[in-house]
Amino acid sequence: MTLSNDGEVGPVLVELSVVEQRYQAVLDVVRDGMTVTEVAGRLGVSRQSVHRWIARYRGGGLGALADRSHRPASCPHQLDTAVEARVCQLRQAHPGWGPRRLVHQLGREGVVVSRSSVYRALVRNGLIPARPRRRRREDYLRWERGRPMELWQLDVVGGIALSDGTELKALTGIDDHSRFCVAAGLMTRATARAVCGVFVAAIRAHGVPEEVLTDNGKVFTGRFGPRPVEVLFDRICRENGITHRLTAARSPTTTGKIERFHRTLREEFLAGASFDSLPAAQSALDAWVGEYNTDRPHQSLGMLTPAQRFAIGSQRADAVVAPALPELEPDRRAPGQWVTRRVATNGIVSVDCQVFSVGKRHAGQLVTVHVSDVLFEVWANGALIRSVPRRRRGVVRNLRAHARGSLSDTG
C-alpha cells in the first residue's frame, strides 16, 4: 500500500514470481476460458509454453510450475564413469600425459574414446585448466631427415645425481628421422675419450651414420681453438666417412630434437631420482631408453614408437638398388657419368680433384662414383654408401694453385 501527497491510499504494486505468473496463465485458460493464443500474446511467450504449463499443472499441481533443470535426460556421447575414473588415474600417475597420450593408452587397453572427451574429463576433475583451443598452422612443417641413419644429433647432458652427491654426465644421441635413441652413456667427467667411447659403442651397435650434428664443444671439435686441431671425435668421423656438422654459436634450436629428448629424460627419468653408483645408474638408464625406443609412443611420429619408425625407414632404405653400371669407364669429367676408384688405406677417395672420405672400413675396396654437376654418389656392392656435395669445377685446383703461388712468392 502507498500514500499519495494528499494522504489518500494509492494502488498497491505487487511483483509476481515466475511460478505465480505461470499459475495465473493456467487459470486464465482453465478457469476463465481465455484462449491459449490470447494468454501467450499477453505474456509474450509461445503457445507451446502455455500448453506445457497447463500439462505440468494438471500432472503435478502448483509445484510442477517451478523452474526445472535444462540438463538433457540422456547424453549418448557422455564418457562412461569407469573410463573417466581410469583417465583420472592415468593422469595422476603420469602428470606429463596430455589428452592425446591418454587416448593412445586407453586404446592399448581396448577402450575407444575421443580426445575431446578425455580433455573435458580432465577439466571437470580439475586435472588441467580449461584453455582456448589452438589450431596448428596449416603451413607448419617439421624439419627432419628423410630416412634413418642419415643424421644423428648428439649432445652432453648433466644432472644425473648419485647418492654421495656426485653428478654424472651423459652423452645422448638420437636419429633425426625416427627419434630413436642411439646413444645414452654415463661418465663421471665428459672428457673426449669418454664421450668418444660412447660414440664408438653406438656406431658398433647401430651402424655408421652419414652425418652427425653437435654443438661446438671441445669434446666434439677443435676447429675454433687458438690453434685448430683435429680432436678424437673428428678423427673418428673422418675415418668412418661421417660428415660432422656443427651448430651456429648460441643456436640451441638447431639441435632441437636432442634438446627435447633431454627434457623428456629429465621429466620421466631424472625427476627426483638418485642412484648408488654409476653402474646402477647406467642400468636404470638403459632400461628407460629401451622403453622409450620400443614402448613409448611419440606424438611427432603419429603415435608410433621410435623403434617402429626406425624399422620402417630402414626397410625403405634397403629397397634402394644401385642402377646398372656401364662396363667401360666413361670420361670422368662428363657430368652424369660413372667412374671407378679404389679407396685408400685411410678411407679417402679422390674424384675430379676433390678429396673426401668414405670410411676406413672400405679401405682397398673398388667403389663406383656417379658424377653429376652437384653431387658425388659413391656405390659399393650395389649399395649407396656416401653422397658428397660437389664443389664448383676448378675451385679446388685454383685454391691449390694459389697456395703454391703464395709459397713461391714467400720463397
What's the pLDDT tens digit per position in 179-216? Answer: 999 999 999 999 989 999 999 999 999 989 999 999 98
Q: What angle do CA 292, 214, 374 make, to 5 degrees?
A: 110
Query: Which pLDDT score is estimated for 314?
Result: 58
**Residue of 171, 163, 209 whose CA lies nearest to 190:** 171
What pLDDT score does 255 carry?
A: 86
Q: For Cα atoms 351, 352, 356, give the angle at the middle one, nearest 5 degrees.
A: 40
For the segment 158-176, the average pLDDT, to the nearest whole number, is 92
Segment 69-76 shows an average pLDDT of 78
Who has greater pLDDT, 405 or 246? 246
Instruction: Please give the distance of CA 9 from its chain centroid, rounded to a whole number.
Output: 80
The confidence score (pLDDT) of residue 312 equals 76
pLDDT, tens only, 94-114: 888 889 889 988 988 998 898
Torsion 278-280-284-287 (CA) sign: positive
Say whether pLDDT at 218 is over 60: yes
CA distance 168 to 304: 31
Q: Which residue has the cell 633431454?
A: 262
With a pLDDT cut of 70, the percent of the chain lying above it is 83
Q: What is the pLDDT of residue 329?
A: 38
How much is the pLDDT for 86?
A: 93
pLDDT per residue over 274-286, tens digit each? 899 999 999 999 9
- Quick check: 219 and 236 in contact, CB under 8 A? no
Q: What is the DSSP letter of 15?
A: P
pTM for this prediction: 0.62
**Residue 374 to residue 390: CA distance in whole angstroms:** 5
Distance (Å) of CA 384 to CA 16, 51, 337, 387: 89, 83, 16, 8
Q: What is the model's pLDDT at position 328?
A: 34
Cell of 183: 646413444
Looking at residue 398, what is its pLDDT? 59
Residues paired with residue 167 on neighbouring β-strands, in sequence order: 161
pLDDT band at 359 (very low <50, low <70, confident <90, very high): confident
Amino acid found at 41: G
What is the predicted pLDDT for the residue at 394?
Answer: 54
Top pLDDT among 78 and 341 is at 341
Place of cell 624399422: 311
pLDDT at 137: 67
For residue 296 the three cell numbers come to 613409448
Report d(CA 208, CA 200) in Å as an integer: 9
| DSSP summary character for residue 320 | -
pLDDT reported for residue 173? 95
Give pLDDT, residue 140.
58
What angle do helix axes 99-108 and 81-93 make, rounded to 10 degrees? 120
Assign 395 a pLDDT band (cuts: 50, 70, 90). Answer: low
Q: What is the distance of C-alpha 31 from the center of its chain?
A: 72
* DSSP-derived secondary structure letter, 329: -
Question: What is the distance between the alpha carbons of residues 288 and 283, in angstroms, rounded to a whole number?
Answer: 9
More confident residue, 382 or 98: 98
Counts of helices then strands in the chain (DSSP H, E): 12, 13
pLDDT at 319: 40
Give CA–CA dist 314/300, Å, rounded: 18
Average pLDDT (238-242) is 88
pLDDT (tens digit per residue) in 6-35 = 555 555 445 668 888 888 889 888 888 889
Q: Say if residues 211 and 198 touch (Cβ distance below 8 Å).
A: no
